[in-house]
Amino acid sequence: MRRLSFLAGLCLALAGTALAGAQDNAPIDVKVNMARVLRISSPAATVIVGNPGIADVTIQDPQTLILTGKSFGQTNLIVLDSLGEPIADTLIEVVQMQAGVTTVYQGQLRTTLACAPVCQPTVMIGDDNNFTSQALASSQLVQSAAN
């Protein structure tokens, strides 16, 4: 009976270890057009993003990275130390913002609005080209006026 209890306890301990390892390798989610702070255990010297069109990473300080979602999809992130040894190698998933986003379809044309609380145009992949051009021009006008 004692041996059975020991084996059951050992199995539970190993299962817990496997679960913790699986959680460590879980993808990092970031919303499109949003940034997220990542803290790492060792100082980073080099950061590599598999597809910079999907996500971008900036080294804020040696142990703080800023991850920005640029476009929907998946890519990977590799972080190397000063000797070129890997600190991290993980999957990045860039997902759509859910809260406050409204998609409007007019026939086959699609536009996206960010509503918080007033709805304003925002650009998402797949939006109508004319809508996207107007929204970007408006945004650039506001930015140039602010500078």
119 and 87: one domain?
no
Domain span at 36? 27-95
Number of domains in the chain: 2
59 and 112: one domain?
no
Name 58's Cβ contacts closer than 8 Å, sequence gap at least 6: 65, 66, 68
38 and 89: one domain?
yes
Tokens of 68: 């920005």
Residue/partner pairs of 96-105 with CB below 8 Å, 24 or more apart = 96/31, 96/32, 96/72, 96/124, 97/31, 97/32, 97/33, 97/34
Q: Decide if 87 contacts 41 (C-beta within 8 A).
A: yes
pLDDT digits (tens, 9 = 90+) for 26-54: 899 999 888 999 999 999 999 999 999 99
- Residue 15, classed as helix, strand or coil, is helix
pLDDT digits (tens, 9 = 90+) for 56-78: 999 999 999 999 998 889 999 99
